[in-house]
């Protein structure tokens, strides 16, 4: 695996003007992915994970939005792209697997039409029949035994599991460098979610694509990711390789997240995290976890990043 990042987010801030005031949703996010790497971004709902994903694909569009920082994909700053610029990038160099395949696929076009359009958008010189052949092969790769039937079906004629495989095919058909997967399969049952992650791992490895998995499910993340970023209220508070994060978490929020995971063995009850994610229009000054942290003190107004071990970074004064 190359050590140079293929994708990086640098000091990303996102502010959206709302009726109640300006919401500072992303607060200096930094993360990177290397080619072929599987990385997870975790945190409670409302912590900014999906906003990070949407910003990475230029899908966040609000007239009152203000973004600062850089999102670099293979040397290009995606934040500087206008609508036309995105056409050569989205679905071609970076693609997304959404949570709910039923909502992500267009119900008025057949699966075949949607796959062929995705292929030809990435490779305008491909003929329709070549694209159809590629789409059929792509469906076989996700272990669909009767791709011709699926190609001629509308999404509502297929099961959620089949639609999820169609979405994976669509995301990977143009061999992107980066795939962002936002809670893939979590709208379906646990078995489908497991299959989705297995297929995604297998196919991304085949094309050497880096994956950013957005999830609040630490059990899934532990099995899938090689590295993890923990996000709280629009800020990355800890990053480490998966083994380290689970065996030696350092940030109080990471510890609280891990303590909140239900155990099958029942040796102890999960402990919910007291309090809630702060209001983005009026977040606490300094460490945003302060109102919920049992260790808060006066120095928490400006916590630095500490590096207890190479590759393990924690934003906390402790
Ligand atoms: S910086 Fe302070 S408030 Fe924030 S997590 Fe660390 S100890 Fe808690």
The answer for residues whose C-beta is within 8 angstroms of residue 255's C-beta and 6 or more apart is 249
What's the Cα-to-Cα distance from 312 to each of 42, 126, 229, rounded to whole Å?
A: 15, 45, 10
Query: Ligand 1: distance of its center to the CA of 205 in Å?
Result: 38
Residue minimizing CA distance to atom 6 of ligand 1? 316
Going by their DSSP bridges, the two strands 65-73 and 5-18 should be labelled as antiparallel
Query: Ligand 1: distance of its center to the CA of 95 in Å?
Result: 35
Q: Helices 128-141 and 111-122, interaxial angle, to 10°?
A: 110
User: What is the SS3 string spanning the chain?
Assistant: CCCCEEEEEEEEEEEEEECCEEEEEEEEEEEEEECCCEEEEECCCCCCHHHHHHHHCCCCCCCCEEEEEEEEECCEEHHHCCHHHHHCCECCCEEEECCCHHHHCCCCCCHHHHHHHHHHHHCCCCCHHHHHHHHHHHHHHCCCCCHHHHHCCCHHHCCHHHHHHHHHHHHHCCCCCEEEEECCCCCCCHHHHHHHHHHHHHHHHHHCCEEEEEECCHHHHHHHCCEEEEEECCEEEEEEEHHHHHHCCCCHHHHHHHHCCCCCCCCCCCCCCCCCCCCCCCCCCCCCCHHHCCCCCHHHHCCCEEEEECCEEEECCC
Query: Ligand 1: distance of its center to the CA of 252 in Å?
Result: 7
Query: Ligand 1: distance of its center to the CA of 115 in Å?
Result: 48
Q: Looking at the CA of residue 293, tell me the nearest atom of ligand 1.
A: 8
* Segment 146-168, tens digit of pLDDT: 999 999 999 999 988 889 889 99
Asked if 123 and 162 touch (Cβ cutoff 8 Å), the reply is no
> Rounded to two decimals, what is the model's pTM?
0.90
Asked if 231 and 52 touch (Cβ cutoff 8 Å), the reply is yes
Could you tell me if the CB of 252 is within 6 A of ligand 1?
Answer: yes
In whole angstroms, give the CA distance from residue 63 to residue 79.
15
Query: Ligand 1: distance of its center to the CA of 224 in Å?
Result: 28
Tell me how far the alpha carbon of residue 14 is from its chain's centroid. Answer: 17
- pLDDT score at 158: 92
Candidate of 249, 295, 298 to mutate for ligand 1, largest count of ligand atoms within 8 Å of Cβ: 295
Tell me how far the alpha carbon of residue 45 is from its chain's centroid. Answer: 13
The answer for residues whose C-beta is within 8 angstroms of residue 91's C-beta and 6 or more apart is 118, 121, 122, 170, 174, 176
Candidate of 256, 287, 292 to mutate for ligand 1, largest count of ligand atoms within 8 Å of Cβ: 287
- pLDDT score at 62: 67
Q: Looking at the CA of residue 287, tell me the nearest atom of ligand 1.
A: 4
- pLDDT score at 70: 96
- pLDDT score at 188: 63
The CATH number linked to 216 is 3.40.50.300
Going by their DSSP bridges, the two strands 210-215 and 178-182 should be labelled as parallel
- pLDDT score at 318: 84
- pLDDT score at 267: 60
The answer for residues whose C-beta is within 8 angstroms of residue 272's C-beta and 6 or more apart is 260
> Could you tell me which residues are beta bridge partners of residue 67?
14
Query: Ligand 1: distance of its center to the CA of 295 in Å?
Result: 6
Query: Ligand 1: distance of its center to the CA of 296 in Å?
Result: 5
* Residue 11 backbone class (left: φ over 0; alpha: ψ -120 to 50; beta: rest): left
Q: What is the mean pLDDT, run by run of 10 residues, along the chain of 318 residues?
A: 84 90 93 95 92 92 86 93 85 88 87 94 87 93 91 92 90 93 75 80 89 89 94 96 95 91 63 81 89 88 86 92
Asked if 41 and 229 touch (Cβ cutoff 8 Å), the reply is yes
If one counts every other C-beta atom within 10 angstroms of the C-beta of residue 155, the result is 23
Q: Structural domain tally of the chain?
A: 1
Residue-range definition of the domain harbouring residue 30: 5-315
């Amino acid at each position: 695996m190359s050590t140079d990042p293929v994708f990086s987010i640098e000091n990303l801030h996102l502010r959206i003007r709302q009726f109640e005031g300006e919401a500072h949703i992303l607060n200096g996010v930094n993360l990177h992915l290397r080619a072929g790497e599987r990385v997870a971004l975790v945190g409670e709902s409302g912590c900014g994970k999906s906003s990070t994903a949407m910003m990475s694909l230029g899908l966040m569009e609000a007239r009152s939005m203000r973004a600062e920082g850089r999102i670099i994909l293979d040397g290009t700053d995606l934040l500087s792209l206008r609508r036309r610029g995105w056409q050569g990038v989205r679905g071609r160099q970076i693609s997304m697997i959404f949570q709910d395949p039923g909502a992500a696929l267009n119900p008025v076009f057949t699966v075949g039409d949607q796959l062929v359009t995705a292929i030809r958008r990435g490779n305008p010189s491909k003929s329709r029949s070549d694209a159809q052949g590629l789409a059929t092969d792509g469906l076989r790769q996700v272990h669909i035994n009767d791709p011709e039937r699926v190609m001629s079906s509308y999404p509502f004629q297929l099961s959620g599991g089949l639609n999820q495989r169609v979405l994976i095919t669509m995301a990977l058909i143009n061999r992107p460098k980066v795939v962002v997967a936002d809670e893939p399969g979590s709208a379906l049952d646990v078995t489908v979610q497991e299959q989705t992650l297995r297929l995604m791992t297998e196919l991304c490895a085949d094309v050497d694509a880096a994956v950013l998995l957005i999830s609040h499910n630490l059990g899934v993340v532990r099995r899938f990711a090689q590295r993890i970023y923990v996000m709280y209220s629009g800020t990355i508070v800890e990053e480490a390789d998966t083994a380290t994060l689970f065996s030696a978490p350092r940030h109080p929020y990471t510890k609280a997240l891990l303590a909140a995971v239900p155990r099958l063995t029942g040796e102890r009850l999960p402990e919910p995290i007291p309090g809630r994610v702060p209001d983005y229009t009026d977040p606490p000054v300094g460490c945003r976890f302060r109102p919920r942290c049992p260790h808060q003190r006066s120095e928490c107004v400006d916590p630095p990043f500490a590096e207890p071990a190479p590759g393990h970074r924690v934003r906390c004064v402790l």
